[in-house]
């Protein structure tokens, strides 16, 4: 399907980012400047593979930063989740100011959501070191895995925990601030009512999913942070 074609098209570019990061011994900002053109070529390859459908733009950005920062830290023998988050924040420093606040004309969804709601989206998350993934998703995912529940249940629990805290510009784009607050509040209630006991209330999860479909909401930002969470868990554990 479309997503599989996109994944196959993107794989070589993440490898290229990793190789560039191992070679680069410069500052986080300079490393970002080196990775950005690779990310732009990856985006072009994605759109070509999918017939113009944006399947993974957020992941090219978030995983690209994580691959770059992670390989750079690993080369120096300094890899940890805390240092990885800090390094990503350094790489992305000043991005919202440069690309959102100083923009004359808004063209991307993220830029339009900043204009409409003041939401800095994935750029703002990157500047903070992706706290929804590192401070929320990663501890929840690892605790769930350690408790013995299956991986799919751990992933469900993790994405709901992320949805409870993330200002998801994808949800804002489709449903505005009211829908964004509804998603966060519903996810928070699910986490508070039984999810924390490692029992996944699948019927309530399905109801939440069906209601989001009915409202035409897609938590794409949370999905990107879930992918980042799993990547960080596997990368640091490797």
For the chain, domain boundaries: 1-93, 131-238
User: What does the pLDDT read at residue 30?
Assistant: 86
How many C-beta atoms surround the C-beta of residue 222 within 10 A? 26
> Which is nearest to 121 in space by CA: 165, 161, 90, 167?
167
How many C-beta atoms surround the C-beta of residue 198 within 10 A? 15
Instruction: Give pTM, 2 decimals.
Output: 0.91
User: Percent of the chain having pLDDT more than 90?
Assistant: 69
CA distance 162 to 137: 6
pLDDT by residue (tens digit) across 196-216? 666 788 899 999 999 999 999
Is residue 21 a contact partner of residue 35, using CB atoms and an 8 Å limit? Answer: yes
Per-residue confidence in pLDDT tens, the chain, 238 aa: 889 999 999 999 999 999 999 887 777 888 888 999 999 999 999 999 999 998 898 899 999 999 999 999 998 898 999 999 999 999 999 887 776 666 555 567 767 766 776 777 888 999 999 999 999 999 999 999 999 899 999 999 999 999 999 999 999 999 999 999 999 999 999 999 867 666 788 899 999 999 999 999 999 999 999 999 999 999 998 7
């Amino acid at each position: 399907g479309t997503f599989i074609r996109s994944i196959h098209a993107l794989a070589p570019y993440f490898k290229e980012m990793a190789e560039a990061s191992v070679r680069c011994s410069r500052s986080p900002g300079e490393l970002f400047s080196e990775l950005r053109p690779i990310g732009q070529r990856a985006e072009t390859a994605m759109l070509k593979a999918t017939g113009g459908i944006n399947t993974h733009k957020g992941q090219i950005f978030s995983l690209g930063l994580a691959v770059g920062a992670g390989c750079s830290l690993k080369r120096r023998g300094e890899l940890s989740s805390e240092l990885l988050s800090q390094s990503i924040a350094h790489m992305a420093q000043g991005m919202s100011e440069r690309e959102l606040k100083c923009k004359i004309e808004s063209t991307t969804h993220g830029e339009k959501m900043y204009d409409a709601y003041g939401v800095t989206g994935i750029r703002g998350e990157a500047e903070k070191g992706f706290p929804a993934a590192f401070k929320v998703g990663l501890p929840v995912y690892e605790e769930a895995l350690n408790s013995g529940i299956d991986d799919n249940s751990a992933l469900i629990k993790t994405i709901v925990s992320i949805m409870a805290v993330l200002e998801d510009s994808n949800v804002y784009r489709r449903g505005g601030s009211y829908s964004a607050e509804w998603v966060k509040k519903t996810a928070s209630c699910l986490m508070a009512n039984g999810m924390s006991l490692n029992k996944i209330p699948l019927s309530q999860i399905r109801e939440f999913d069906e209601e989001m479909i009915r409202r035409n909401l897609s938590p794409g930002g949370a999905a990107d942070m879930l992918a980042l969470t799993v990547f960080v868990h596997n990368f640091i554990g490797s």
